[in-house]
Amino acid sequence: MNMPDPQAIAATWMSQFTDPTVWQGWTTFPPMMPNMVSPMVPQMMPAAGGANPLAGLFKDVGVGIAPAKLETIRDDYLKKAGQLWQDFVTGKTPALHDKRFSGSAWSGNPMSAFSAASYLLNSEFLLALADAVEAGPKERQKIRFAVQQMVDAMSPANFFATNPEAQHHMLETKGESLTKGLANMLADLQKGRISQTDESAFEVGRNVGTAPGQVVFENELFQLIQYSPATPTVKAVPLLMIPPCINKFYILDLQPENSLVRYVVEQGNTVFMVSWRNPDRTLGNLSWDDYVETGAIKAIEVVRDITRQDKTHVFGFCVGGTIAASALAVLAARGQQPAASLSLLTTLLDFDNTGILEVFVDEAQVALREQSLGNGGLMPGRDLATTFSALRPNDLVWNYVQQNYLKGKEPPAFDLLYWNADSTNLPGPMFCWYLRNTYLENKLKVPGALTVCGVPVDLGAIDAPVFIYGSKEDHIVPWEAAFASMNLLNPKNPKANRYVLGASGHIAGVINPASKNKRSYWVNDKNGKSRPKTAADWFAGATENKGSWWPEWAKFLAQNGGADVPAPSAFGNERYQATEPAPGRYVKARAD
């Protein structure tokens, strides 16, 4: 089915929703009241015998809605609009079940409360139209996403003229908040992004990324950090951590109280970390093969050499897990099995279900990236950060517009948001290969369908026990998609894989310190000859446990870690010597 651009559909709906000719035969709703919310909100009611104006919302956009469904949406809208107007004329303040309007300034002012309620009603109407479009699920998701973006942007909370909290704050500060808000906005325009935290409160190596260690190897693509032991003895098998290359590694080592690195070191492991270089123009020609061969495979080689161990635990987080699994599949094709275990956190190997990110990936968009970046260049980290912020615009965009600009407030210091703003670039050829072969064509899961580093890869050929983690509310790697790796790895050994599901999202679910005893996680350790084939079947037999999933992973590493040996007394070895303290200089290079 040939679908028009979802952005065009959303824009057409918005424009026609406010076109007076669309609403001919309707009377003003409410009478004598200007639109207080935004140009999006139609304050109209149908006159007796008036034509159905909603049909105009679909002219020239190439999509349709079943007449019966359209009529149902229309009737529901009119019923709620009528009740809202009745409440307004009788002085009843509408209930506002939305955190954007939870402040007393909204409910305490009838006009502001009605403005918010009108906005919420019309938002509900537009999203109902998007959900009712007769199209395939992916096309409908793109349309809904585009409509949602515009709906969120037009909230009355985002405009000073319709935000009573911002107005009250201006009066309380005698106008100082407006001056400060303008200064904040101009500063962000210079940075090219919205400030989400007080960035002056943090510095990599000073109060984030502070686990002690030394850089023991580097090439043009990454530095390898070896962390100081925290126990007199350690497991013989070392642990190599491969973080995502689209973010800085110190998400795994934020501050001492929430550092996954420190935790696994304290559990008696010799830990190494890949610190990816933030690519500049000189690295704009690097490919996926470079990240696998020169990155992950080289790191595995160095770790084995330094520790004099034949095998190492291999850990991958997000796209770092995709790189790690690809590297082990390449080595398997070369007759090598260097992994004592493989741990994958919120990682996609089967890209059949990529959640909301599907709205950014189709043939046209990938081809456009290939045309502009496929032969070299950089995918700017700023663009990647903007994309991820668009997935949660109210939390990661409009909240800061309201607080920083309309109210003139400074965002509080928050280590995770500091890391979130510390974006990284990606080499164009690597990025384009990744988009096409995984997200678009989903070839990595098919044995032999892809050639990586000169050999056909088969994930099922990796011979190592596997620990897979997914986050229940992850909007980047849906937990069901993370579970799909269970059916790709160790296909002939059902008991070699273990899946753990944590509460919360892509980052907060992973960074859940054991010492805090927060949230919960699910496991399914029921014995049987075969493991559940689907995520739903697995969850049906799972048991919820309070606290962090980290101890479950530590237990897995210990079970596959070999004997206890004395902790290393020095960093590196004769071939790979320490060159600078952790976290190294690569991680400090900013994409800005």
User: Does residue 225 carry a pLDDT above 90?
Assistant: yes
* Burial class of residue 519 in the structure, from the number of CB atoms within 10 Å of its CB (0-12 exposed, 13-18 middle, 19+ buried): middle
> 356 falls in which pLDDT band (50, 70, 90)?
confident
Q: Which CATH class is domain 213-380+425-588?
A: alpha beta
Residues 253-273, mean pLDDT to the nearest whole number = 97
CATH 3.40.50.1820 in the chain, residues?
213-380+425-588
> 137 falls in which pLDDT band (50, 70, 90)?
confident
Q: How far is CA 124 from CA 8, 35, 130, in A?
A: 20, 18, 10
User: Does residue 25 carry a pLDDT above 50?
Assistant: no
Rounded-to-integer distance, Cα 520 and Cα 513, Å: 11
DSSP string for residues in 462-525 = --S-EEEEEETT-SSS-HHHHHGGGGTSSTT-GGGEEEEEESS-TTTTT---GGGT-SEEEE--
Q: Is the peptide bond before 238 cis (omega within 30 degrees of 0)?
A: no
Mean pLDDT rounded to a whole number for the chain: 89
Known catalytic membership, residue 318: yes
**Looking at residue 307, what is its pLDDT?**
98
227: β partners: 213
Determine contact, residues 147/10, Cβ cutoff 8 Å.
yes
Express each pLDDT in 510-527 by its tens digit.
Answer: 999 999 989 999 999 875
Express each pLDDT in 201-211 by its tens digit.
Answer: 999 999 999 99
Q: Which of the pair, 269 or 382, is modelled with greater confidence?
A: 269
275: β partners: 223
Residues 462-479, mean pLDDT to the nearest whole number = 97
- Percentage of the chain with pLDDT > 90? 78
Closest CA to 572 of 232, 210, 211, 228: 228
pTM of the model: 0.88
Express each pLDDT in 409-418 by its tens digit.
Answer: 999 999 999 9
**Which residue is catalytic, options 245, 318, 432, 453?**
318
Rounded-to-integer distance, Cα 246 and Cα 259, Å: 19
